[in-house]
Amino acid sequence: MYGLRLFYEPRVRLALAGAAAVLGVLHYLKEAIGELAIIHHRPLEFDFGQFYRAAQDLSAGRNPYDYFVHLHCQSWCLGGYIYPPLLAELLRPLAGLSLPDAAAVWLVFSHLTAFASALLLWRILRGRVTVTVMLGMLAAGLFFQPLFENLSYVQIGTLILLILTAAAALHLRAGVGTSLGSGGLIGLATVFKVTPVLVAPALLPVGWAAGRLRGRGLRETLAGWTGLAAACVGLVLVMVVAVPHTIDFFTEVLPHIGGGTTVYENKSLPAMVARAFELTGDVVPGMRLAPNSGLVTLFAFVVVLGPTLIITGRRLPRQGADWNARAAAFGAYVAAMPIVSTITWRHHMVVNLLAMALLLPALWPATGAGASRAARWLLVASYPLSYIEQDLAHRLALGPGIAHPTLLDAFRVLLIEDLNLFGMGCLWLAALLALRGLSSPPSDGQREMIEPEI
């Protein structure tokens, strides 16, 4: 067909990608200007309002966690500052401003971090993918709804995205010094938000379980983990000494938020498993994850991080594919992070942009064939599934309401309500398939080392 055949012509694809990128820039500017224009006329008591109140509390010598603790939550509940004190310390210079003015400053800063992330990704991908693919990724990022939710809620996702993007850029340069810096940046992100620690296994070389964890690979890994530990331990010790009430985060707040919540806005795998218990009447709606939330979280870790560790550890990159394999492995752990976390709001999915970008050199390289056709389709499918508006999915799932749900009702509700989670899962699977496609089969000696005879 003539119309479809045009899409196979490089000049047509380039023109379409360029047009989409231009539309994406215009859309982003419209949304950015619109958010700044109404910042003084919108409710800010949640999200940024909690960060701002915590900064004011620290400046006044008050405990920023008092509000959350006095809610007497059995698990996670709405209200109060629940992050480590580093973020509140960062915002202390804004504590003297009014809430709308402080939010406007942070929103501008968030736009700058988003721009810096895009610039870093351009430097990472330059020369490894075609201009068409770069423009397509730019358009996809600028239309990505979780990004706009992050900016609309005046959240910290774009800051975490920038830190992890910088960590990926250093990691891909493959050196002891850069590994140290990459681990340090992952540690910094962890002290901001805890969950980025799940990206730490990406510091291992691809094929580490197949005899790659020695020599240079071992030195790089040790340097990365040293940087991670130094950043985490060093920053925590500084906060314990210099920031009052730091210990309260670890003793009063973290044990509660670690239990997660079963509200439908929580898009993580532990939350979906817990909603299955809830729909069958084993959990009080909207409260704890499950009768044993620790087991539910452990289940998520095993199901997601287990295969990721196995594939990144046992697969040896074929000749010339080391860089692409490192990028895909880093992307796999970034994609797994919001799946495994006990609490994943939709705006937390902004980090998926980094995972998508890191898979492009493996799946749409500038020269040669992509590593996996199936991974391409999974990556493409992950975008609209991640884009679906959560309230719409919730209404479609429940319909007129379910008084006494059967197992079939529970399956239908979970299938529709957790489409965002399935989108995250498609992205994660795309990364694993890309790694498989980039890998060469082990030699006889390596096979004996991986699978010894019993």
CA angle, 99 then 102 then 104, to 5°: 110
Alpha-carbon dihedral sign for residues 32, 38, 42, 48 = positive
Q: What is the rounded distance in angstroms from the CA atom of residue 301 to the CA atom of residue 410?
A: 23
Q: What is the rounded distance in angstroms from the CA atom of residue 336 to the CA atom of residue 266?
A: 15
Rounded (10°) angle between helices 352-363 and 99-125: 10
List phi, psi (to 5°) of 319: -55, 130
- By residue range, what is the domain housing residue 76? 2-450
Q: Name residue 439's beta-bridge partners.
A: 317
Q: What is the rounded distance in angstroms from the CA atom of residue 359 to the CA atom of residue 429?
A: 11
In the DSSP assignment, the letter for residue 97 is S
Cβ-Cβ contacts under 8 Å for 144 (sequence gap 6 or more): 350, 352, 353, 383, 386, 387
Question: How far lies 22's CA from each of 12, 15, 27, 82, 139, in Å?
Answer: 15, 11, 9, 38, 8
Question: How far lies 57's CA from each of 95, 254, 398, in Å?
Answer: 9, 19, 41
Q: Name residue 126's beta-bridge partners.
A: 129
CA angle, 105 then 110 then 112, to 5°: 100
Task: Please tell me the predicted confidence (pLDDT) of residue 272.
Answer: 86
Element of type H or E holding 317: strand 316-317
Q: Are 235 and 191 in contact (CB under 8 A)?
A: yes
Question: How far lies 426's CA from each of 181, 350, 419, in Å?
Answer: 30, 15, 10
Q: Which stretches of the chain score pLDDT less than 70?
A: 1-3, 73-77, 281-293, 393-394, 396-407, 409-410, 440-454
Q: What is the rounded distance in angstroms from the CA atom of residue 63 to the CA atom of residue 95?
A: 15
| Domains held by the chain: number | 1
Task: Please tell me the predicted confidence (pLDDT) of residue 409.
Answer: 66
